[in-house]
Homo-oligomer: A and B are copies of this chain.
Amino acid sequence: MSQLADKAKGDKLVGEVLAGSIRTASRLISRAEACDSSITPILKQLFCKAGDPVLLGITGPPGAGKSTLVNQLIQHYRKHDKCVAVLAVDPSSPFSGGAILGDRVRMNQHAADPGVFIRSMASRGQLGGLAKATGDALSILQAMNFDVIILETVGVGQSEVEIVRHASSVLVLQMPGAGDGVQSVKAGILEIGDIYAVNKSDLPGADKLVTSLREMLQLSSKMHPWLPPVVAIQANTGAGIDRLVQHIGEHRDSIRSGGEVHASRARERVRYRVVEICRQLLNESVFSGAGVTDTQLSAIANHQQDPYTLAEKLVGVL
């Protein structure tokens, strides 16, 4: 009886999201952020109702101008009557509160525009839950009527790469550094981007950075059907944004036209997402005490038993 009532309530929320309710979507995202697993039946339904928006991830080092770029993209897409959702995820919390502040500034700017939805997420629940929650939030937004969803990650490093992998097109933003162009490009970023933008293209070193990136990408992606373009932009003036948007569209067309490389990357994203959901499920069972007793944990804490054997049992390998 109560299960039926839950189902009716869940169906109602699903209907509201599909009808475009920002309020319901926002509440569900908060529940995902708090690792509330009771929304799983809702997420399952919404996932299978996903539309086909542009799903663009933006990453890059702090100070590269990600927020400014996102603002330019919003303005560009709004001029063409596209609805835009922005999910700003900050995996570097608890040490920084950057996302929240940047979010508020932009919220004000677009507050009167119903075609723009901006939402920030940071780690509030258990450690490691943010990547899973980002996937949940994207499922919710994809079931709404947005034409473009931008996933902006704030912070540096591995967590950021994990977050941005949820997007089907990844834009890596760079800026000319103090030193040599080549040295300022780290090896890892050449593997994650579909499109590269060099911001602050009026600064010295920008041309050299563009050239270096192009050369390195040509070397590293020789087998790829999509050679990531490198675009020089000035996010503060809007210079280069039109060309950037054109490349975003071309990458989307390339994905749509099929091809095994794109399909294989899509499967990779699913794999990654499934593992994140599994991890969350394990977190719940291990931390709620359902899967593991205090006695078992103490025996491991005292090095009488090992954690590997217990993990193998939990995952069903043993």
Contacts and interface: CB of A to CB of B under 8 A. Distances in A.
A128 B91 contact: no
A125 B194 CA distance: 21
A23 interface: no
A123 interface: yes
A309 interface: yes
B44 A308 contact: yes
Q: How large is the interface on A (under 10, 10 to 19, 20 to 34, 35 or more residues)?
A: 35 or more
Contacts of A47: 303, 306-308
A294 interface: yes
A275 B267 contact: no
A316 B284 CA distance: 13
B189 A315 contact: no
Interface in A302-316: 303-312, 314-316
A263 interface: yes
Q: What is the oligomeric copy number? A: 2
Interface stretch (A70-78, A105-113, A152-160, A203-211): A152-160
A313 B48 CA distance: 18
A270 B308 contact: no
Contact of A270 (B162, B188, B301, B315): B301
Contacts of A135: 307
Interface in A270-286: 270-275, 277-279, 281-283, 285-286
A156 B186 contact: no
A297 B281 CA distance: 19
Interface of A: 40, 43-44, 47-50, 61, 91-97, 123, 127-128, 130, 135, 155-162, 165, 186-189, 191, 263, 266-267, 269-275, 277-279, 281-283, 285-287, 292, 294, 297-298, 300-301, 303-312, 314-317
24 contacts: A43-B308, A48-B303, A91-B158, A94-B157, A94-B187, A94-B189, A95-B156, A95-B157, A95-B186, A127-B162, A127-B272, A156-B157, A157-B157, A157-B159, A267-B297, A270-B301, A271-B292, A274-B292, A274-B300, A274-B311, A278-B315, A281-B311, A281-B315, A315-B315
